[in-house]
Structure 1
Amino acid sequence: MIALELFGAEDEYLWERVGQGSGTEIHTLFPSTPVGRVSKMELFRAIWKHLDRLRPQAVVINGYSSWDSWVLLAWCKMKGAFPILMSDSRWDDAPRTALGEWVKRILVQQYGAALCAGAPQRKYLESLGMPPDRIFDGYDAVDNQFFGDESDKARQSPERYQTLPGLADPRSYFLASGRFIPRKNFSGLLEAYALYRERCRKGEHDTWRLVLLGDGPQRASLLNTIQALDLQEDVVLAGVQNIQNLPAYYGLASAFIHPALQDQWGLVVNEAMASGLPVLVSKQAGCAVDLVADGVEGFAFSPEDTAGLAHLMSLMSSGQVDRDQMGSAARRKISYWGVERFSQGL
């Protein structure tokens, strides 16, 4: 198997290269050029030339709406290769128009098969004309064993991680992680947290802290909100953490929150569940339907309902639910949604 990477640099995501599996080659077309710095014609020529050299019998294509996906699909149709679509799009994850859906149906029906994320994504592909027997799931997966093993190690030796931002304070905490952009709804989470803290003070039970991992254009705005709501003592922006540090944050957290207004899936939820955490997940995250049953692995909530989220946070931190049992259920559920499922589906 050969993985064709278009760009070796990315301004928006701080990806780390962690090696490659046996039997896999990674070919990078533009090793030192960030995304967006290459013209469409340059990208077209580079992809076409490289595929002509490789002559693959099948090409797995990530999505159907980008320029590179169109070039890859066109090459397959011209050269007789079998195109496989990978998609986690849902009907309700973006505004839709009749013309756009008509064009999308034409595109999707050019693919021979599809690997999708879960049930909502499968339903959407079927509505676009992909035959049900050519759709397989498991597209969105993480290394469950890595997060499970490493988070357990952090629980066994928490003192080793006290120098990491936000982990010196021994109080329990909610964890959230993602890019600081509007659709991730961290501003809504801060408002819900302020309501939650007020409830705790009135109810006379301990307030958990809130640790946010990530960075992005809304960082300054979030800091202003933290100050305006007087949350400085209880909320920590711990920055972007590398893959080796992430399990410590999951392992030492008491619950995970994913508050997105829109997310096609939400791989951070996979990471949290693999780490054995109970989860509070927005109903607008594509993973919610498949991964979260209310009262089992955690709870799903409406991301616009800050009072509702504050209530669930109170429920989680007050001892009214069995968090250990939920965490174990989360780990069991996600064990069926790992890289093995991705491999089998592909």
Structure 2
Amino acid sequence: MDSLPQRTQEKKRDAVRLAYLVSHPIQYQAPLLRRIAREPDIDLTVFFGSDFSVRGYKDEGFGGVGVKWDVPLLDGYRYEFLPALRDNATVSPTTPINYGILSRLRGKDGDAPFDALWVHGYASINSLHAMFAARALGIPVLLRAESWLGDRERSSGKLAAKHLFFRALGKFVDGILPIGTLNDDYWRYYLGDNFPRFLMPYAVDNDYFQKRSIEAAATRKQLQSDLNLDPDRPVILFASKLQARKRCGDLLDAYKRLSPAPGVEPHPYLVIVGDGEERASLEQAARATGFSSIRFCGFRNQSELPRFFDLCSVFVLPSRHEPWGLIVNEVMNASRPVVVTDEVGCQRDLLTPGIEGEVFPAGDVEALASALSRILATPHIAQQMGQQALARIRSWSFEEDVRGLRNALATVTRKIAHEPVHYAC
């Protein structure tokens, strides 16, 4: 399927032909793919393994809630869905499994072979198959993935096996596209300091979220009324899947510590957006506090979230083993301070404690309560941190992504010029 006008294809006839392989259309990636497709000398084609995110699906992470994204996932770039051998509307090492990538990379219907293959993730049959196919055809491979060294516990046996795996994988990859500092550390640990790496930061559509957040201010009073919130009281926001590793229970325990006296509810509200396996137990724990200041709002689609960002005074992501946490990027675009654990992958790149928000040790409820108390001590503190957050996220954008990708393509294909680099991993 082709979603670019014919004149765009003609203009790119002499451009670098870039194939991108990813499991399925992803709401965070679609605007980046549109941005890359606008580059006059990069001819991008995206190959998907499954279309389940376009059709709508049940997300077990959201407690089996039906999900159909309300943002365009396929507009503005060329794409194809590869024929499937296995597709059960989930993503794992063994699904989806597709065929046909070798023939597509070679070129068909008069097309020239692709000049480079970019793969998202390495721990799947599809990804490995594509990398092996590209190597057989002499096509350079760029790899982007989310892992970092602290994202989960591993036994010494598993670590040894990973070293052997990456020693072999490195022979099929020509360049790595790190998403941030912790991910860059991961690749240096397994592939060595001298392996080619080009920072392609994990970013969101900053312009979209800044615009939607500004628009949300006009409906703030309506949302406060819908949730029965006193506009003079601050709001602590959690917005993510209600599953064990997101540790929303830690936030609830920290919130109880904000009570000025036994039986007295805290001054700020706690608003919880999301759904998942832990919702029932969290609602039960909230009822047990006796507080009337906790709100559960259920799953909200991506376009709705800026209204909640605008509503809050501070955002909290208390996760364990969080590879990045793109919702942190989104909230920072709304000029709001953020509080995250030291196991949220984005914290090294997007947060300086006391400036854009706070970082606390994962699982340390007392430290979380203290961080919230510091930020909410006066409205001025939260507002100033929010302004710093917006300033910082403006330089972590799709433009940096394009620059990193262009430099990677310049190195492995030698068909386009290198771009000036204004940052380093």
Q: Same fold (TM over 0.5)?
A: yes
How many residues were matched structurally?
340
Give the alignment's Cα RMSD to 1 decimal: 2.8
Residue 49 of structure 1 deviates from its aligned partner by 5.2
Query: Partner of 1:26 in structure 2?
Result: 79
The more displaced of 219-228 and 249-258 is: 219-228
Pairwise CA distance, 1:287: 0.7
Tell whether 2:200 aligns with 1:138: yes
- Is the Cα–Cα contact under 8 Å of residues 205 and 318 in structure 1 kept in the other structure? no
**Unaligned 5+ runs, structure 2:** 1-43, 62-66, 406-425
**Which residue, out of 137, 140, 144, partners 1:79?**
137
Contact 1:272/1:279 (<8 A) preserved: yes
1:243 pairs, out of 299, 302, 315, with 302
Which residue number corresponds to residue 5 of structure 1?
48
Moved more, 32-41 or 5-14: 32-41
Q: Rate the CA distance shift 1:121–1:208 in 2: closer, same or farther, 3 A.
A: same
Instruction: Report the residue type matching 1:136 in the other structure.
Output: F
Q: How much does 1:168 deviate?
A: 5.4
Which residue does the alignment assign to 1:43? 97
- Aligned match of 1:294 in 345, 353, 369? 353
Following the alignment from structure 1 to structure 2, what is the Cα–Cα distance between the partners of residues 71 and 268? 31
What does residue range 183-332 of structure 1 map to in structure 2 within 5 Å?
183-196=245-258, 198=259, 200-201=260-261, 207-231=267-291, 233-319=292-378, 322-332=381-391
Shift of 1:217: 1.6
- Matched to 1:147, the amino acid is F
Deviation at 1:105, TM superposition (A): 3.2
Cα drift, residue 255 of structure 1 = 0.7
Counterpart CA distance in 2 for 1:187 and 1:229 is 13
Q: CA deviation at 1:131?
A: 5.0
Deviation at 1:122, TM superposition (A): 0.8
Q: Is 1:147–2:176 an aligned residue pair?
A: no
Residues 80-102 of structure 1, C-alpha deviations (whole Å, 9 max, x = no match):
21111002211111233222222
Separation (CA, whole Å) in 1 of partners of 2:88 and 2:105:
21
Q: TM-score, normalised by structure 2?
A: 0.73
* Shift in alpha-carbon separation, 1:328–1:107, aligned structure 2, 3 A: same
Q: Secondary structure at the match of 1:59?
A: strand
Quick check: 2:188–2:195 contact (8 Å CA) kept in 1? no
Q: Does 1:103 align with 2:157?
A: no
The DSSP-based 3-state class of the residue aligned with 2:345 is coil
Structure 1 residues 11 and 117: CA distance shift in structure 2, 3 A: same
Flag the 1:266–1:39 CA change in 2: closer, same or farther, 3 A. closer
* 1:174 CA drift (Å): 0.8
Moved more, 220-229 or 33-42: 33-42
CA distance 1:78–1:90, shift in 2 (3 Å): same
Percent identity of paired positions between Structure 1 and Structure 2: 26
Question: Normalising by structure 1, what TM-score?
Answer: 0.88
The alpha carbon displacement at 1:117 in A equals 1.4
Work out whether residues 167 and 191 of structure 2, in 8 Å CA contact, stay in contact via their aligned partners in 1.
yes
What amino acid maps onto 1:26 in structure 2?
Answer: Y
Taking structure 1 as reference, are residues 42 and 92 closer, same or farther at Cα in structure 2, changes over 3 Å only?
closer
CA separation in 1, counterparts of 2:194 and 2:315?
A: 34
Partner of 2:237: 175
Unpaired runs of 5+ residues, structure 1, are none
Match of 1:281, SS? strand
Secondary structure at the counterpart of residue 126 of structure 1: helix
Cα pair 1:108 1:128 within 8 Å, conserved: no
The structure with the largest alpha-carbon Rg is 2
| Structure-1 residue corresponding to 2:149 | 91
Following superposition, the deviation at residue 290 of structure 1 comes to 1.1
